[in-house]
Amino acid sequence: MKKKAFQRIYTEISAITKATCDVRAEGIGYQELAWVNGRPAQVIRIVDDLVTLQVFPGTEGISTKTEIVFSGNPPQLNVSDLFCGRFLNAYGDPFDDGPPVEGEARPIGGQTVNPVRRIKPSHLLATGIAGIDLNNTLVTGQKIPFFADPDQPYNSVLAEVAMRAEADRIILGGMGLSYDDYIFFKEIFTNRGVLDRIVSFINTSEDPPLERLLIPDMTCTAAEYFANEKKEKVLVLLTDMTLYADALAIVSNKMDQIPSKDSMPGSLYSDLARIYEKAVQFAHGGSITIVAVTTLNEGDITHAIPDNTGYITEGQLFLKKDTYTGKVIVDPFRSLSRLKQNVIGKKTREDHPQVMNALIRLYADAMQARTKKENGFDLNDYDERCMKFALDYSNEILAVDINITIPEMLDRGWSLFERYFEKYEVGIKEMFIQKYWLGTADM
């Protein structure tokens, strides 16, 4: 934030809200970065010579007589390999004790990839978690959120996915992260010896909420540098996007805009899409995969934030505690990976789609049987077998603490079929039954 000679400087503020202030100024570009009494701010409205600035750290204590410096540029990030292992704040300045990052200044929130220059994402991104690899297979270039209630261990699952996934680079964007979770991420990155391939942009819950608005753009700008210029497989982690959307709502409110559903701005869909659509598979092999977290209120996915997110992302993953086994699993019913069709049965074993579907269908039958039992009805033989199957399915395949390959998951699936069912009950294509039904019931 060093001042340069050509910068325009003003000293009079005409209006202040909790998030914004107005100043009379000329020759100012839309979305230009400025400093209000040293606090970073951005131009969000210009009417004649009246410029409205959104002040990221908030306007507490700002006086009408204050120095305002315009930078002449949109917000920028210095990109270079010196990033690696660093923890930076929402402005790309050190959050850790290291020196400022030297590098080429890039405007954040850059241009859209021409859709005809994209490549269909079809490289498997394995995580070793069956709830993902088997049921909701991910590919590089995909964008997918965890929908989780605040009490669920979403950040540790997210970290686990990041550690196991085959990525060249991991960029973490933390928004409103609790300080404890910041320490957690830092420790897990350090202890697993992967710190040198990770860059983190951190805004903790102690930091001003509006600064969160910069985190996704900073994160994606860094990701684009590695994915496009260095042709690396980049994994972006964004947690928690709900807090990002809350910050959007604050600014929209202070701008007197009419809110749409759940007090969210009418542009929420576009605002979120602009970030998630940074996920891309380039032709040269580089890619950006985004795994995000959207926290829910008591599982309510009809709220504007998860609802709009679901329409943007390529699927969603729900965490759930299986009360019968006590294991955390990725819910096989509500979770979905839209891009799994690009790899399952093609890049993975041929029986993958059918085994996956049959397992889920039988698990659904087991849930019906449980309901029947809870309502006091007698269970038939099929119900009993389904319920036993469900326990084993959860324990031996779904639990997130299991780390196995996809062929192992499929083999375990076949062995469960054989343990509890007849061939006609699983509804799988004849040719696969002939090939994989071994007739030996145990593993």
Partner 1 sequence: MTKGIITSIVSNLITIKANGPISQNEICHVLRGQISLRAEVIRIKGSIAFAQVFEETRGIKIGDEVNFTGQMLEVELGPGILSKNYDGLQNDLDKMGGTFLRIGEITEPLDADVFYDFKPIATKGDRVSAGEWLGEVKENWMNHKIMVPFAMVETYEVLSVIKAGDYNKDTAIAVLQDEKGQKHEITMVQRWPVKRAISAYKMKNRPFEILQTGLRVIDTLNPITEGGTGYIPGPFGTGKTVLQQAIAKNGEADIVIIVACGERANEVVEIFTEFPELIDPRSGRKLQERTTIICNTSNMPVAAREASVYVGMTLAEYYRNMGLKVLLLADSTSRWAQALREMSNRLEELPGPDAFPVELSAIIANFYSRAGVVELNNSTTGSVTFIGTISPVGGNFKEPVTESTSKVARCFYALSQKRADAKRYPAIDALASYSKYLDYDEFVEFADQHIQEGWVNLVKKVKDIVQLGLEAKDQIDILGDDAVPPEYHVNFWKAELIDFGFIQQDSFDEVDMSTSIERQRAMLNRFYKISVMDFPFSDFQEIGSYFKKLINLFKQMNYVPLDSNEFRKFENDLDLMLQPYATPVATT
Q: Enumerate residues 354-393 that contact partner 1 by CB under 8 A.
A: 357, 360-361, 364, 372, 377-378, 380-382
Name which of 373 and 419 has its Cβ closer to partner 1. Answer: 373
User: Any contact of residue 311 with partner 1 (CB under 8 A)?
Assistant: yes
- Binding mask 101-130 toward partner 1 (x if CB under 8 A, else -) reads ------x--xxxxxxxxxxxx---------
Q: Are 397 and 130 in contact (CB under 8 A)?
A: yes
From the CB of 234, what's the least distance to partner 1, in Å?
15
User: Any contact of residue 190 with partner 1 (CB under 8 A)?
Assistant: no
- Phi and psi at 186, nearest 5°, equal -60, -45
- Member of 18, 24, 192, 334 binding partner 1 (CB under 8 A): 334
Enumerate residues 191-230 that contact partner 1 by CB under 8 A: 228
Enumerate residues 29-48 that contact partner 1 by CB under 8 A: 29-32, 44-48
From the CB of 117, what's the least distance to partner 1, in Å?
5
Stretch that binds partner 1, among 54-62, 95-103, 260-268, 435-443 (CB under 8 A): 260-268
Q: Give the whole-angstrom CA distance, residue 155 versus residue 169.
A: 18
User: Any contact of residue 232 with partner 1 (CB under 8 A)?
Assistant: no
Q: Are 309 and 316 in contact (CB under 8 A)?
A: yes
Name which of 111 and 323 has its Cβ closer to partner 1. Answer: 111
Name which of 41 and 304 has its Cβ closer to partner 1. Answer: 304
Nearest 5°: the CA angle 402, 407, 324 is: 35
From the CB of 395, what's the least distance to partner 1, in Å?
22
From the CB of 427, what's the least distance to partner 1, in Å?
6
User: Any contact of residue 347 with partner 1 (CB under 8 A)?
Assistant: no
User: Any contact of residue 74 with partner 1 (CB under 8 A)?
Assistant: yes
User: Any contact of residue 285 with partner 1 (CB under 8 A)?
Assistant: no
Name which of 163 and 312 has its Cβ closer to partner 1. Answer: 312
Which two three-digit tokens encode residue 356? 């996956």
Name which of 137 and 316 has its Cβ closer to partner 1. Answer: 316
User: Any contact of residue 84 with partner 1 (CB under 8 A)?
Assistant: no
Other CB atoms closer than 10 Å to residue 124's CB: what's the count?
Answer: 18
Residues 6+ apart with CB under 8 A from 156: 184
Output the CA torsion sign for 165, 167, 169, 171: negative
Q: Give the whole-angstrom CA distance, residue 214 versus residue 55.
A: 12
Q: Give the whole-angstrom CA distance, residue 234 versus residue 168.
A: 6
Which two three-digit tokens encode residue 220? 């994606």
Q: Are 367 and 334 in contact (CB under 8 A)?
A: no
Name which of 108 and 416 has its Cβ closer to partner 1. Answer: 108
From the CB of 316, what's the least distance to partner 1, in Å?
7
Short-list 155, 174, 170, CA closest to 223? 170
- Member of 150, 427, 435, 441 binding partner 1 (CB under 8 A): 427
Output the CA torsion sign for 399, 404, 408, 409: positive
Which two three-digit tokens encode residue 382? 């099929």
Q: Give the whole-angstrom CA distance, residue 411 versus residue 229.
A: 40
From the CB of 430, what's the least distance to partner 1, in Å?
6
User: Any contact of residue 188 with partner 1 (CB under 8 A)?
Assistant: no
Size of residue set near partner 1 by CB under 8 A: 79
User: Any contact of residue 429 with partner 1 (CB under 8 A)?
Assistant: yes
Dihedral over alpha carbons 25, 28, 33, 38 (to 10 degrees): -20
Short-list 324, 294, 84, CA closest to 189? 84
Which two three-digit tokens encode residue 329? 């699993």
Name which of 372 and 388 has its Cβ closer to partner 1. Answer: 372
Which two three-digit tokens encode residue 2? 């060093």
From the CB of 401, what's the least distance to partner 1, in Å?
25
From the CB of 206, what's the least distance to partner 1, in Å?
30
- Member of 94, 259, 373, 419 binding partner 1 (CB under 8 A): 259
Name which of 204 and 357 has its Cβ closer to partner 1. Answer: 357
Alpha-carbon distances, residue 93 vs 30, 200, 215, 226 (angstroms): 23, 11, 12, 19
User: Any contact of residue 14 with partner 1 (CB under 8 A)?
Assistant: no
